[in-house]
Amino acid sequence: MKRPARLLLIACALVAGCGGEIQVPEQQAQLRKGAELFNQRCSGCHTLDSANAYGSKPSDELKAGERTNGPSFNTRRVRRDDALFAIRNGGFSGSIMPANVVVGRDAEDIAAFLARYSGKKKSKGPDSPVSP
């Protein structure tokens, strides 16, 4: 395979998320829908393996003053009501998350998904889990 073609294949794999999948069973309809919505609407800034979302940047990759990444929900545990508050109000304490990024039933589905699947990994840094 020629070098340009090989580079194109690598780039396509990176854009496609390296073949990852949402890890929520389809039988859990509300949670699966929440994971799909999280992947579509939140993965640009947040990380959560079960939603195949990898938007959080490690702090060593951030430039001084740059705030474009949200917390990793692999390590941060979120309660349903807290997730709904953040969705409706644009996060907490003046963060850059847009308010009402999803609304209605979609917001409820994402909040239920986060309440069930967030905080499953041990923290390795400043993004420590919060109480459930």
At 7, is the pLDDT very low, low, confident or very high (cuts 50, 70, 90)? very low
Go through 84-110 and write b for each residue having 16 or more CB atoms within 10 A of its CB, e for each that does not: bebbeeebeeeeebeeebbeeebbbbb
Answer whether CATH 1.10.760.10 is correct for domain 22-117. yes
pTM of the model: 0.74
Residue 112: predicted pLDDT: 98
Of 89-98, 108-117, 119-128, give the range with the top mean pLDDT.
108-117
Residue 73: predicted pLDDT: 95
User: Residues 48-84: pLDDT tens digits?
Assistant: 999 999 988 765 555 555 556 788 999 999 999 999 9
Mean pLDDT over each residue of the chain, to the nearest integer: 80
Report d(CA 52, CA 19) in Å as an integer.
Answer: 9
Residue 94: predicted pLDDT: 66
List, in order, residues 6 or more apart from 76 with CB less than 8 Å away. 118, 119, 123, 127, 128, 129, 130
Report d(CA 110, CA 128) in Å as an integer.
Answer: 21
Structure tokens at 105: 């039933």
For CA atoms 119, 122, 123, 129, give the dihedral sign. Answer: positive
User: Residues 99-113: pLDDT tens digits?
Assistant: 999 999 999 999 999
Structure tokens at 28: 């859990």
User: Residues 17-42: pLDDT tens digits?
Assistant: 455 899 999 999 999 999 999 999 99
